Amino acid sequence: MSLSEWSMKDLKVWDDKIIDIAKNHGLDWFDINYEICDYYEMIGHMSYHGMPSHYNHWSYGKTFERTHLNYNMGQSGLPYEMIINSNPSIAYLMMQNPLYLQILIMAHCVGHSDFFKNNRCFKDTDPEHVVSRMRNAKKRIQSYIEDPSIGQEKVEAFLDNLHAIKYQTNRYGTPRKTRAEVKDNEVKRYNKYKEKGISLDYDSLDTKRLLKPDHDMLSFFTEYYPDQFKNWQLDLIEIVKHDSWYFMPQIQTKILNEGWASFWHYKILHELDLPDSMHLPFLKMHNAVVRPHLGGVNPYHVGFYIFQKLEKEFGLEKCFEVRNTHDDVAAIRLYLDEEDFRELNFFAYQNEKDGSAVVSEVTDHDDWKVVRDEMIRNTGINMIPHIYVDRVESDGTLVLKHEHDGRDLELDYADKVMDHIREIWDKEVKLFTIIEEEIWEI
Amino acid sequence: MSVFKNHKRVADRSASDRRRHKEKIEKAIKEGIHDIVAEESIIGQDGKKKIKIPVKGIKEYQFIYGTGKGTKGVGSAQGQDIKKGQVVRKAKQKGQKGKGKPDKPGNTSGEEYYDVEVSLDELAKYLFEDLNLPELKKKQNSVVTSEKVKRKGYRTKGINARLSKKETLKNKIRRKNQAIKNGTFDPESGERFPFHEDDLKYKHIAVTKKPITNAVIFMIMDVSGSMTKRKKFLARSFFFLLYQFIRYRYQNIEIVFISHTTEAKETNEDDFFKKASSGGTYISSGLAKAEQIIQERYSPSSWNIYTFHCSDGENWAEDNPKALDKMRNLVNISQLAGYIQIKRTQDKIWGEEMAKIFEPLISDKFKIVNLSDKKDVWPQFSKLFGGKYELI
Q: Give residues 48 to 67 of A whose Cβ lies within 8 Å of B.
A: 48, 56-62, 64-66
Q: Indicate the pLDDT class of residue B131, thresholds 50, 70 and 90.
A: low
Spatial contact of A342 and A365, defined as CB atoms under 8 Å apart: no
pLDDT tens digits along B78-124: 777 888 888 888 776 544 333 333 333 333 334 455 556 666 666 66
Residues composing chain B: 392
Higher confidence at residue A398 or residue B376?
A398
Averaged confidence pLDDT in chain B:
75
Can you tell me the distance from the alpha carbon of B243 to that of B241, in angstroms, rounded to the nearest whole number?
5
Q: What is the pLDDT of residue B111?
A: 45
Which residues does residue A430 pair with via DSSP β-bridges, in sequence order?
A399
Give the pLDDT of residue A134: 95
For chain A, the farthest-separated pair of C-alpha atoms sits apart, in whole angstroms, at: 85
B98 at the A interface (CB within 8 A)?
A: no
Query: What is the spatial distance between Cα A272 and Cα A22, in angstroms, rounded to a whole number?
Result: 11
Q: Smallest CA–CA separation between A166 and chain B, in Å?
A: 8
Query: Is residue B209 within 8 Å of residue B242, measured between CB atoms?
Result: no
Residue A188 neighbours by CB distance under 10 Å:
10
A77 vs B: CB within 8 A: yes
Supply the angle between the helices A231-252 and A130-146 in degrees, to the nearest 10: 140
Distance of CA A75 to the CA centre of its chain: 24
Are A334 and A326 in contact by the 8 Å Cβ rule? The answer is: yes
Question: A337 or B228, which is more confident?
Answer: A337
What contacts A282, CB < 8 A, 6 or more positions away?
A: A100, A101, A103, A104, A269, A274
What is the predicted pLDDT for the residue at B389?
Answer: 42
CB contact under 8 A, B78 and A292: yes
B79: Cβ–Cβ under 8 A, 6 or more apart, which residues? A345
Q: How many CB atoms lie within 10 A of CB A434?
A: 16
CB contact under 8 A, B80 and A345: yes
Q: Is a pLDDT exceeding 80 seen at residue B212?
A: no
Exposure string of B361-381, with b = 16+ CB inside 10 Å and e = fewer, is beeebbbbbbbbebebbbbbb
Contacts of B78 in chain A (CB under 8 A): 292, 343-345
Q: How far is CA A55 from CA A59, A127, A164, in A?
A: 11, 18, 16
How many CB pairs (< 8 A) connect A and B?
Answer: 265
The answer, yes or no, to whether residue A316 has pLDDT greater than 70, is yes
Distance of residue B163 Cα from the nearest chain A Cα, in angstroms = 16
Mapped onto helix, strand or coil, the DSSP state of residue A434 is: strand
Instruction: Name B203's bridge partners.
Output: B154
Max mean pLDDT among A198-207, B217-226, B235-244 falls in B217-226
Tell which wins on pLDDT, A214 or A85.
A85
Confidence (pLDDT) at A83: 94
How far, in Å, CA of A32 to CA of A13, rounded? 15
The domains of chain B are located at 18-58+100-119, 149-209, 213-384
Q: Nearest Cβ partner of B84 from A15, A346, A362?
A: A362
> DSSP 3-state assignment of A424?
helix
CB atoms within 10 A of CB A147: 12
Residues with Cβ within 8 Å of B63's Cβ and at least 6 positions away in sequence, in order, are: A165, A168, A384, A385, A387, A402, A409, A410, A413, A414, A417
Distance CA A64, CA A43 (A): 6
Q: Distance (Å, rounded) from C-alpha B156 to C-alpha B173?
A: 16
Residues 6+ away with beta carbon under 8 Å from A271:
A21
Amino acid at A267: K
Which one has a higher pLDDT value, A184 or A423?
A423
Q: How far apart are CA A420 and CA A161, in angstroms?
A: 5
Residue among B4, B14, B92 whose CB faces A47 most closely:
B14
Q: State residue B58's pLDDT score.
A: 76
Cis peptide before B321 (omega within 30 of 0): no
Q: Nearest Cα to B309, choosing from B237, B373, B195, B218?
A: B218
- At residue B106, the pLDDT reads 30
DSSP state of A201: S
Q: What is the pLDDT of residue A245?
A: 92
Q: Over 70: is that where the pLDDT of B198 sits?
A: yes
Q: For position B108, what pLDDT does the model report?
A: 34
CA nearest A375: which of A348, A357, A335? A348
> Higher model confidence: residue A439 or residue A111?
A111
Percent of chain A scoring above 90 in pLDDT: 62
Give the SS3 label for residue B316.
coil
The interface residues of chain B toward chain A in range 214-243, judged by CB-CB distance below 8 A, are none
Q: What was the pLDDT predicted at B391?
A: 35
Q: Are B108 and B19 in contact (CB under 8 A)?
A: no
B83 touches chain A (CB under 8 A): yes
Query: What is the arithmetic mean of pLDDT over A7-26?
Result: 95
CB atoms within 10 A of CB A373: 16
Helix (H) or strand (E) holding A332: helix A328-335
The per-residue pLDDT for B390 is: 39
Of A143-147, B169-173, B386-390, minimum mean pLDDT range: B386-390
Amino acid at B88: V
CB contact under 8 A, A36 and B60: no
Describe the crossing of helices A276-289 and A254-271 by its angle, rounded to 10 degrees.
160
Residue A307's pLDDT is 97
Give residue B255's pLDDT.
85
B41 shares contact with chain A (CB less than 8 Å): no
- Mutate one of A57, A58, A163 to test the B interface: name it (highest B CB count within 10 A): A58
The three-class DSSP label of residue A77 is coil
Under DSSP, is residue B371 helix (H, G, I), strand (E, B) or coil? strand
B84 interfaces chain A, CB cutoff of 8 Å: yes
Q: Which CATH class is domain B213-384?
A: alpha beta
CB contact under 8 A, A44 and B13: yes
pLDDT of residue A35 exceeding 50, the answer is yes
Q: Which neighbouring-strand residues pair with A167?
A: none
Please give the order of strands across the beta sheet that includes A357-361: B72-76, A346-351, A357-361, B87-89
User: Which helix (H) or strand (E) covers residue B379, if one does?
Assistant: helix B374-384
What are the residue ranges spanned by the domains of chain A?
8-119+253-335, 339-382, 385-441
Q: Considering only CB atoms, which chain A residues are within 8 Å of B87?
A: 356-359
Complete DSSP assignment for A123-143: TTS-TTTHHHHHHHHHHHHHH
Across chain A, mean pLDDT equals 89
Which chain A positions have a beta carbon within 8 Å of B178's beta carbon?
Answer: 73-75
For residue A173, the model assigns a pLDDT of 63
Answer whether B76 touches A (CB < 8 Å): yes
Q: What is d(CA A12, CA A25) in angstroms, rounded to the nearest whole number?
A: 20
Q: Is residue B153 very low, low, confident or very high in pLDDT (cuts 50, 70, 90)? A: confident
Q: Which of B1, B5, B6, B14 to mutate to test the interface with A (most CBs of A within 10 A)?
A: B14
DSSP-derived secondary structure letter, A214? B
| Distance between CA atoms of residues A363 and A348, nearest Å | 9
Q: Which residues of A touch B60 (CB under 8 A)?
A: 59, 160, 163-164
pLDDT at B92: 61
Q: What percent of chain A is helix, strand and coil (3-state, nearest 5)?
A: 55, 10, 30
Chain B positions touching A420 (Cβ under 8 A) are 61
Please give the backbone phi and psi of residue A92, each rounded to the nearest 5 degrees, phi first: -115, 135
pTM, rounded to two decimals: 0.71
Q: How far is B169 from chain A (nearest CA, A)?
A: 14
Question: What band does A163 get if pLDDT is binned at 50, 70 and 90?
Answer: very high
The predicted-structure confidence for A213-255, as pLDDT tens digits, reads as follows 888 999 999 998 999 999 999 999 999 999 999 999 999 999 9
Q: Which residues from chain B sit within 8 angstroms of residue A294, using beta carbons?
A: 75-77, 80
Q: In angstroms, what CA-CA distances link A427 with A165, A211, A228, A419, B318?
A: 17, 17, 10, 12, 62
Spatial separation of the C-alpha atoms in residues A92 and B179, rounded to whole Å:
24
What would you report as the CA-atom Rg of chain B, rounded to the nearest whole angstrom? 28
Residues A410/B110, Cβ–Cβ less than 8 Å: no
Do the Cβ atoms of B263 and B285 come closer than 8 Å? yes
**Strand-strand pairing, B215-222 and B253-260:** parallel
Q: Indicate whether B188 pLDDT > 90.
A: no
What DSSP element (H or E) covers A359?
strand A357-361
Residue A50 C-alpha from the chain's centroid: 13
- What per-residue confidence (pLDDT) applies to A171? 78
* Distance between CA atoms of residues A106 and B2, nearest Å: 10
Measure B39 CA to nearest chain A CA, in Å.
28
Find chain B residues with C-beta within 8 A of A44's C-beta: 12-14
pLDDT confidence of residue A398: 93
